[in-house]
Amino acid sequence: MKRVDPLLIVDQLEISSKALVPLMKKFSFQIFPGEIVALTGASGCGKSLTANAVVGLLEDGCEVTNGRIYYKGQSLSQNDEKSWQTLRRDEISLLIQHSLSGLNPLQSVKKQMLRTLKQKTEPAKKERMNYLRDLLRQVGFSNPERILSSYPFQLSGGMCQRILLAMMISLQPTLLIADEPTTALDSVNKEKLLALLKKLQQEHGLTILLISHDVERISAFADRIIDMEAREEVRTCFLNYKG
Ligand SMILES: Nc1ncnc2c1ncn2[C@@H]1O[C@H](COP(=O)(O)OP(=O)(O)OP(=O)(O)O)[C@@H](O)[C@H]1O
């Protein structure tokens, strides 16, 4: 049987505050290509820190003090800012917890989507608007033209979340990390967003790391659930994964 290498390896990761107080210790897990893996655990156990460390976006107040992160077999420890930017543009997208803070309320959706698209080799000018409309349809908007001309403050939290998702997909990432993407949504929209992530995973061959407290809801959605609560001990619960 052909051996599949992990896409992402987090190995004995420790993140500390600037005063070198560990905020999380010795956390390890792996993700294989095409999987949907959910990361769960009590509030404050370090889920968001882990997600931010994977894409080089730890806040100024904290740093990786032990352990390593490998992506496609390469250690990310020596990454400079330019390498992190390239990784975020070409490989790993992070969908953050609070959708509105990810969009500029004073700029139209069209302007923001075009700016994201420009980070990549963009489609030819005349194709661009068709591409954006198609992306918006893929995330469930039946009237993309209206959405493109809207400003984020005119839209609901769930709509903004779907727009951010469309922007991430336009970067064609290999790995999508979604940090509590459903927190601000009501029950129906939570289900819709998870179904949408699953659809995008299947259509675009994405690998997804989903951070969530909602073990019950995500157990029907994820291939594996990693419980981070024990901090130094990772319990991995294999559900549908056939690795
Ligand atoms: N910039 C920072 N400076 C200092 N401490 C921080 C910083 N960011 C996070 N922390 C602390 O690190 C710990 C882990 O935070 P993190 O946000 O990763 O938790 P989490 O598991 O994602 O929690 P939640 O489920 O509530 O989002 C917490 O105790 C938090 O207060």
- For 112, the 3-state DSSP assignment is helix
The complex scores an ipTM of: 0.96
What's the whole-number mean pLDDT along residues 136-141? Answer: 90
Q: What is the mean pLDDT of the chain?
A: 86
C-beta of 61 in contact with ligand 1 (< 6 A): yes
**Is residue 9 within a helix (H) or strand (E), and if so which, with residue range?**
strand 8-17
- For residue 2, pLDDT beyond 80: no
* 200 to 5, 47, 84, 171: CA distances (angstroms): 22, 23, 24, 13
Determine which residue's CA is closest to atom 5 belonging to ligand 1. Answer: 17
CA–centroid distance, 37 to ligand 1, in Å, is 20
Going along the chain from its start, the domains and CATH numbers come out as 1-91+175-243 (3.40.50.300), 100-172 (no CATH)
Structural contact between residues 41 and 227, judged by C-beta atoms closer than 8 angstroms: yes
CA dist 56 and 137 (Å) reads 31
C-beta of 144 in contact with ligand 1 (< 6 A): no
Q: What does the pLDDT look like over 169-220, one tens digit per residue? A: 888 899 999 998 877 777 877 888 888 889 889 988 899 999 998 888 888 8
Determine which residue's CA is closest to atom 25 belonging to ligand 1. Answer: 43
C-beta of 59 in contact with ligand 1 (< 6 A): yes
pTM above 0.90, yes or no: no
C-beta of 43 in contact with ligand 1 (< 6 A): yes
Number of helices (H) and strands (E) in the chain: give both, helices first: 8, 10
- For 207, the 3-state DSSP assignment is strand
The larger pLDDT score, comparing residue 242 to residue 206, is at: 206
CA–centroid distance, 62 to ligand 1, in Å, is 10
- For 184, the 3-state DSSP assignment is coil
